[in-house]
């Protein structure tokens, strides 16, 4: 049995045309999540949730926080829904380090800031705390530099702004990736398939949209890859 646990934290928003990633005509509610990975030697918070959920995020962290363990943070993207609660969290909890990728927006933090550079289509292992091994995957499905986070003990894949379609068609998760319609997308689709097929993934946790578990993982990976192929030139 794994000694690592992964906890989803956040709240729900109304999904409509006020939301930048909402497909045309969709009106629904949608979870927006960050995730706390708790291991034997430390904790890693993946993204921070949106400012509208600051109260819910802080309340959940108070319940889950173990002051015997160091806490670090990792931002899958330096976009607003990933980092806006960083100051509020840092004000209430001691943060050892903040990991991020890209170079356009550098997070401001009192903690040590650690930039991670992973070539698109490849991955890199880090140890945010001794013995806590986390695989950072740089997906080809991206706008800005992006990290997917693979926690191997639990078989969890945290996918930032991918796999966000929930109970709708996979195309609903591609609204922000409009450039796909002008690209040959076969390689992007193949990488989505490879990431899931080459690892023991039993749960997928997107930054927004509901998670997928068990048999859904392979089904939804295939559906997303197929949708990426359909929308592209190839």
Q: What CA–CA distance (Å, rounded) separates 65 from 215?
A: 31
Q: Specify whether the CB–CB gap between 205 and 35 falls below 8 A.
A: yes
Alpha-carbon distances, residue 125 vs 118, 128, 132, 176, 214 (angstroms)? 10, 10, 10, 28, 24
- The pLDDT assigned to 234 comes to 58
- The pLDDT assigned to 104 comes to 58
Q: Specify whether the CB–CB gap between 154 and 133 falls below 8 A.
A: no
Alpha-carbon distances, residue 113 vs 36, 106, 138, 206 (angstroms)? 19, 9, 19, 24
Report which of 201, 212, 133 is spatially closest to residue 167, judged by C-alpha positions: 212
Q: What is the pTM of this model?
A: 0.96
Alpha-carbon distances, residue 31 vs 10, 153, 210 (angstroms)? 7, 25, 6
Strands 71-74 and 95-100, bridge-based pairing: parallel
- The pLDDT assigned to 18 comes to 87
Q: What CA–CA distance (Å, rounded) separates 106 from 152?
A: 28
Q: Which domains does the chain have, with CATH numbers?
A: 5-231 (3.60.15.10)
53: Cα separation from own chain's centroid: 16
- The pLDDT assigned to 105 comes to 61
- The pLDDT assigned to 145 comes to 94
Tally of CB atoms within 10 A around 136 = 20
Would you write out the chain's pLDDT as a tens digit for each of its 234 residues? 579 999 999 999 998 888 888 888 888 889 999 999 999 999 999 999 999 999 999 999 999 999 999 999 999 998 888 999 999 999 999 999 999 998 656 566 788 889 999 999 999 999 999 999 999 999 999 999 999 999 999 999 999 999 999 999 999 999 999 999 999 999 999 999 999 999 999 999 999 999 999 999 999 999 999 999 999 985
Alpha-carbon distances, residue 110 vs 55, 94, 97 (angstroms)? 21, 10, 9
């Amino acid at each position: 049995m794994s000694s690592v646990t992964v906890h989803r934290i956040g709240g729900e928003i109304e999904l409509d045309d006020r939301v930048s990633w909402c497909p045309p005509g969709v009106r629904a509610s949608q979870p927006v999540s960050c995730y706390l990975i708790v291991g034997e030697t430390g904790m890693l918070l993946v993204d921070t949730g949106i400012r509208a959920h600051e109260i819910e995020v802080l309340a959940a962290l108070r319940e889950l926080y173990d002051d015997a363990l160091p806490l670090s943070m990792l931002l899958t993207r330096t976009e607003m829904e990933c980092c806006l609660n960083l100051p509020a969290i840092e004000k209430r909890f001691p943060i050892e380090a903040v990991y991020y990728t890209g170079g356009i927006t550098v997070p401001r933090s009192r903690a040590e800031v650690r930039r991670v550079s992973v070539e698109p289509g490849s991955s890199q292992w880090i140890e945010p705390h001794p013995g806590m091994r986390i695989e950072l995957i740089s997906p080809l499905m991206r706008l800005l530099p992006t990290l997917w986070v693979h926690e191997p003990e639990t078989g969890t894949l945290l996918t930032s702004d991918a796999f966000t379609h929930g109970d709708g068609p996979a195309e609903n998760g591609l609204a922000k990736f409009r450039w796909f319609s002008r690209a040959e997308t076969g390689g992007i689709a193949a990488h989505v398939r490879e990431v899931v097929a080459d690892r023991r993934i039993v749960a997928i946790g997107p930054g927004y949209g509901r998670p997928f578990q068990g048999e859904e993982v392979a089904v939804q990976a295939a559906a997303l890859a197929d949708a990426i192929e359909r929308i592209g030139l190839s």
